[in-house]
Amino acid sequence: MTPPVQSTTTDTRQWTRDIRSAGLRAAVLVILFTNLILGNDHDNFAVHTTVVLGYLVLSLLSLGMAITRRGAPWTDTFFVSVDALLVIIVLYEHLFRFDVTEDHGLTTPSLAIAFLLLNHVGLRLMPWLVILFSSIVLAGWLFLLLLMTARHWSSDTDTHFVTSFGEDLGLAAAFAFAAIVVYLLTRDHRTIMRVAIESEERRMNLSRFFSPSVVSDLQVASDSLDLERREAVVMFVDLREFTRFTETAPAAALAEILAEYRSIVAGEVFRTGGTVDKFMGDGIMAVFGQPKPSPDDAERALQCALQLVRILDDWTKWRRQEGKPALDAGIGLHMGTIIGGVLESGFHDEFTVFGDVVNVAQRLEAMTKTLEASLVVSAAMLSRVPASLSAADWKRKDEVELSGRRGTIGIAYLERMGWTQTQDLLSDVHRTV
């Protein structure tokens, strides 16, 4: 089974974000430490020291989790909540540290921490964390402004409160606007990433059955998947005596021979521009001309079949030389009008082809056993290919009856070849490619 696309890439992106988050925490620490050393508020030195040391511990904990890639799902919520509380503490210190009659406006460093941590949360690319952080900060900020208002109303001093309050409220509104922008950016990024991942998953699923060029066409032209009639070549490949082999063979041996066999057939089908419609145990159904027909479908299908005759013959010989179980293969080819596309079932939709062409191709493949042939094609199919391919050492039969089908059909087949004949046929194919 193909592993999910997210299995490695998502983990890597998450680890990168965690490392980046730890780096931004270091920047916040520098600002806090600078305020502690260079600030003129010595009365609250102990409070600032506690904040810096506490944030240092949390930053080291976050960095350790990022490096070791450990941490419970709730740790993101915890760290973001702590960051928001830190901002509120800093705001409180700057709004309430002076007497009522003195200027209590926010300073640049305190604002820098609020906006820097907002960007820090945004870089985690989780919109709900942006909402959590900004909601806590804004709720705390507005609450502090209300307390400050009550504080001034309870005094009879003539201060610059109205001007200062308006500035502080404007800064809170600016923070709210910045939070909305960061939220929209993270939400759009998540949407784009989700679409990209879904597209990549779809491409990976399609690549299991289609050649890369066909996958590209399908991604930009989804209407090619609609069920419709089109002309195509259907090829069936099957291993001889596989059922008997499964009765006694160990599971590991079955898995090995099927994996090698499927890899060989699918690789050659993709190389020649075909698609793998389905795997059925030791049977493989491939199609040329689905979902996108081409004038040379018949030629490419026959080239693929002739190559597979050689490759599978070599594979069988190699396994016998290695002392491993080896099975011969048979191939059937037929061309005609098929019905292809997505066949809906309500539970499990299937992209496939069906029709008389499929049935004929399957029966031609079954005839390879009785004819002692490696490849059987219909005469109609052979008439559609260049003379260089149709001039091989074909044995021909006319008016052949197929079980379950009315009428007769002309066929051509290649008898099983020895090593020399295989190499000669391969040379012929190479000259036509």
pLDDT tens digits, one per residue of 218-231: 666 555 567 788 89
pLDDT of residue 342: 74
Is residue 32 in some structural domain? yes
Q: Minimal CA–CA distance to 235: which of 345, 309, 295?
A: 309
Backbone CA torsion sign across 57, 58, 59, 62: positive
Looking at the fold, whether 385 and 255 belong to one and the same domain comes out as: yes
pLDDT of residue 18: 67
Beta strand extents in 272-328 (DSSP E only):
275-280, 283-288
Q: Looking at 155, 170, 205, which one is the last position of a domain?
A: 205
Domain, as residue range, for 351: 224-432
pLDDT of residue 11: 60
Looking at the fold, whether 306 and 428 belong to one and the same domain comes out as: yes
| DSSP 8-class letter at 210 | B
Contact yes or no for 236/287 (Cβ under 8 A): no
Q: How far apart are CA 10 and CA 193, in angstroms?
A: 10
- Which CATH number fits the domain that encloses residue 279? 3.30.70.1230
Identify which has the larger pLDDT, 398 or 351: 398
Placement of tokens 């309430």 in the chain: 96
Cα torsion 118, 124, 129, 134 to 10°: value is 10
- Number of domains into which the chain is organized: 2
Cβ within 8 Å of residue 70, ≥6 positions away: none
pLDDT of residue 119: 82
Looking at the fold, whether 86 and 173 belong to one and the same domain comes out as: yes
Looking at the fold, whether 169 and 318 belong to one and the same domain comes out as: no
Please determine, for residue 1, whether its predicted confidence score (pLDDT) is greater than 60: no
Among 79-93, 111-125, 368-382, top mean pLDDT goes to 368-382
Q: Looking at 205, 232, 261, which one is the last position of a domain?
A: 205
Please determine, for residue 110, whether its predicted confidence score (pLDDT) is greater than 80: no
> What crossing angle do the helices spanning 251-271 and 297-321 adopt, rounded to 10°?
150
Contact yes or no for 364/236 (Cβ under 8 A): yes
Q: Minimal CA–CA distance to 264: which of 326, 219, 174?
A: 326
pLDDT of residue 34: 74
Looking at the fold, whether 289 and 405 belong to one and the same domain comes out as: yes
Residues 39-71 have pLDDT tens digits of 555 555 666 677 777 778 877 787 777 677 666
Q: Minimal CA–CA distance to 165: which of 226, 101, 105?
A: 105
* Across 88-102, 133-147, 332-346, 396-410, least confident range: 88-102
Mean pLDDT over each residue of the chain, to the nearest integer: 78
Q: How many CB atoms lie within 10 A of CB 378?
A: 24
Looking at the fold, whether 101 and 71 belong to one and the same domain comes out as: yes
Q: How far apart are CA 218 and CA 210, in angstroms?
A: 9
pLDDT of residue 375: 93
Global pTM value: 0.56
Cβ within 8 Å of residue 267, ≥6 positions away: none
Q: How far apart are CA 284 and CA 235, in angstroms?
A: 8
Q: How far apart are CA 249 and CA 258, in angstroms?
A: 12
Is residue 406 in some structural domain? yes
pLDDT of residue 423: 45
Mean of pLDDT values over 398-427: 70
Cβ within 8 Å of residue 273, ≥6 positions away: 211, 213, 214, 288, 294, 300
Contact yes or no for 215/206 (Cβ under 8 A): yes
